[in-house]
Amino acid sequence: MRQAVILAGGKGTRLADSLKGLPKPLVDIDGIPLLERQIISLRDQGFREILVLVNHRAEVIDAFLESKERFGIDIKCVDDGEARGTAGAVFHGLDLLRSRFLVVYGDTLFDVDLDRFWKNHEASGADGSIFLHPNDHPYDSDLVNLDLKHRVIDFAPYPRPEDDFRRNLVNAALYVLERKIFANGVEAGIQDFAKNFFPVCIRDGFTLNGYVSSEYIKDIGTTKRLNRAINDLRSGLVERASLRHKQKAIFLDRDGTLNVQSGYIRNPDELQLIPGVDRALSIFNAAEFRTVVVTNQPVIARGEVSIPMLHRIHGKLETVLGRTGAFLDRIYFCPHHPDSGIPGEVAALKFACACRKPGIGMIEQARDELNLDLDKSWFIGDSTADMLAARRAGLKSVLVRTGEAGSDGKYPVAPDYEFADIQEAATFIVAGSGRLSEALELFLSRIQAGMLVRVVGRARVGKSTVAQVLVGNLRDRGIPAVRISLDAFIRPHDNRVQDGDMLTRFDLDLARKALSPWLDGNSMTIELPIYLRRERTRSKSTEKLHVDRDAVLVVEGVTSGAIDPGVRSHLVLAVIDSERRRAMRFRNEYQSRSWSHSAIENTYRQRGIDENVLIDSWIEGADFVLDMHSVLDEQFIAAPPER
């Protein structure tokens, strides 16, 4: 039988106006006393014995429990007399406690999957487990340091030296304890678990397990915190965050996506965040996405960085994010590398593993530990390894044009979406994708199985993005759909006709030949070329795509209007945008490739001359016109990269 102890001894001095004469545990939380909410949560999750420890107005709390018929379970209210602190109070009531019990603080509102927490503790074999969570102000919080097995190493109370970077793991004041952890007793005086008792336990050789979760647990010890908790409860945030429900996530690569790519990061001083990363994380946090870093760190296998140093590097990452109110829910790293022969390497870490991207071991671990719904989750990265990992795991993939920007060319895979940086990606994922889906609803209703959809429009208006939103919505409706970008058929720069126009920059004969089996009414498997934008050449690899005869094929690109539909019924979707925004995107793109200002402006003018007349004729004949400027406001313009 599972037992819990609730520490309900607080006087609630800072909540006097809200208590209206009641003891602190009975503070009203949207019409229901906090203690009642805690007991119901415990009872509904299988706890049948509850010990309520009180040293202030115990008779009022006991009368309340009696009026509720003790909620149909075994509840004892014990007046433990003088104030002893949290650890001292539990030790004083030890004779009433079982060999294993849960400790709940009486001033916390929570909705936690307690069964998952309890079983994690059992599996750990530890003498106690501490519920840890990230918060949005780790720099001024008391932090807990864990090893790779989630054993507590030490505690880092605030304040700390400015360069003492620690992981964002904050004690949430919820514990599963073995009775034997009190074998050495508790020192005299006021003894708090976090400040006094747990550090002594570590010193005396007891083991503490750190259980990390982003589920909702907040103390309501001030009027401001109380009001915030009530708002969170009314909005549904408290319940939605529970691991009893599937969670949506944003998986994030680290180097080149969050921080500037500058070789291996070997110490915290070398870590520099890409501008806008903090804002992007705040957007995801506010939208209730779990933010999960999955990063290959072969520098560990190379023997150049230790695990403690990597924790310091990640501690800096989380500290810098926390200064702007952003946080990461979890960081997973792969320390392995398959190749040997480097002086000083760690031989035990030199093997082919399942966790190194494009393997999906880290993603699967996060899925299980965080109860993630991968169908509703995304992966943002800067390399083809990231994109392949996303595809293998069934995640929607986003390539950012920072870091490697997909130019590594290691794997023949294209992203679902491509954006300038993580901030632009975050804005699209949280707001833009939904707006586009709504705007496309009427057009989507006209699409039938086996149909060709050509997405036309000028360069840099968002055709690829719109096409992928179409594909995603069709798949959600049970209609198989595939997107093919004609940018794959851009000729290598050295193979282009001098002074040629838009049509000659593309190998349209190759494109038509590749698409012809499907356009003639059959299924097809296509070897799609891969164009490397930064190098302005074509990869030696190709991406293999299969398109069933009854699937919808969405073809997009500036030359998509030149593709004859063959025997297929077809629709044309035109995408337009304001010229100011289109021009800004164009310039941002070529700035990211390190082009000079004059080269960018000359190219912009020339492209307008040889592209716009023909493209505009296709727009005029379209079945549906989507005005991106009316759908997506100015916040969807990516700022120019800082140089």
Catalytic residues: 253, 255
Look up residue 204 and give its two tokens: 């005396």
The single residue listed with the structure tokens 């909410």 is 37
Closest CA to 524 of 537, 514, 532, 534: 514
Q: How far apart are CA 26 and CA 64, in angstroms?
A: 9
Tokens linked to 335: 């320390």
Asked if 631 contacts 436 with a C-beta cutoff of 8 angstroms, the reply is: yes
| Residue 48 · residue 4 · CB < 8 Å | no
Task: Characterize the bridge pairing of strands 552-556 and 47-54.
Answer: unpaired
Q: Which residue bears the tokens 């966790």?
A: 355
Query: Which ranges of 149-207 would DSSP assign to H, the alpha helix?
Result: 198-203
Q: What would the two tokens of residue 51 be?
A: 């010990």
Q: Which residue has the tokens 């406001």?
A: 633
Where do the H-state alpha helices sit in 323-383?
Answer: 361-370
The whole-angstrom separation of Cα 557 and Cα 554 is 10
**423 near 279, Cβ under 8 Å?**
yes
Give the tokens for residue 113.
């999957």
Spatial CA neighbour of 186 closest among 81, 78, 94: 94
Residue 559: what are its φ and ψ, rounded to 5°? -105, 10
**Nearest residue to 564 via CA among 454, 443, 446:** 454
Element (H, E) at 517: helix 508-519
Give the residue among 346, 157, 387, 366 at the shortest CA–CA distance from 249: 366
CB–CB of 355/361 below 8 Å? yes
Q: How far is CA 401 from the centre of its chain?
A: 19
Indicate the residue type of 616.
D
**C-alpha separations of 16 from 24, 35, 111, 223, 254 in Å:** 9, 17, 25, 9, 46
What is the Cα–Cα distance from 178 to 182, expressed in whole angstroms? 8
Could you count the other beta carbons within 10 Å of the beta carbon of residue 63? Answer: 12
* DSSP letter, residue 70: G
Q: If we measure between CA atoms, which residue out of 84, 85, 95 comes closest to residue 76? A: 95
Q: For residues 153 and 207, what is the distance between their CA atoms, to the nearest angstrom?
A: 9
Query: How many other C-beta atoms can be found within 10 angstroms of the C-beta atom of residue 185?
Result: 9
Name 290's bridge partners: 249
Q: Are strands 208-212 and 128-133 parallel, antiparallel or unpaired?
A: parallel
Q: Which amino acid is at 337?
A: H
276-277-281-282 Cα dihedral, nearest 10 degrees: -30
3-state secondary structure 304-324: CCCHHHHHHHHHHHHHHHHCC
Q: What is the DSSP string of 439-470?
A: HTHHHHTT--TT-EEEEE-STTSSHHHHHHHH
DSSP state of 2: E
